[in-house]
Amino acid sequence: MAKRKVCKQCRRFTDGQTCENCGSSLFTTAWHGRLCIIQPDKSAISQKIGVEKNGEYAVKTSA
């Protein structure tokens, strides 16, 4: 199974040609850890990493 693409700018998982969160087209498949943010306005973790939208995000990305 191939690793999923992650946006290099906002670390959100995506399947498209552009990130639906920030609009970037720069992606990587080198990532570690996964966060699923459901209620970003109530989540201390989402506030710490700067996430404002629901979605699935990588904890760390590499070049």
Q: What is the pLDDT of residues 2-61, one digit of tens each?
A: 689 999 999 999 999 999 999 999 999 999 999 999 999 999 999 998 899 999 999 999
- The domain over range 5-61 is classified in CATH as 3.20.20.70: no
- Identify the pLDDT of residue 32: 94
In this predicted structure, the answer to whether residue 63 has a pLDDT above a threshold of 70 is: no
Residues 28-63 as b or e (16 or more Cβ within 10 Å = b): eeebeeebebeebeeeeebeeeebeeebebbeebee
pTM of the complete model = 0.86
> pLDDT-based confidence at 62, cuts 50/70/90?
confident
Type of residue found at 25: S
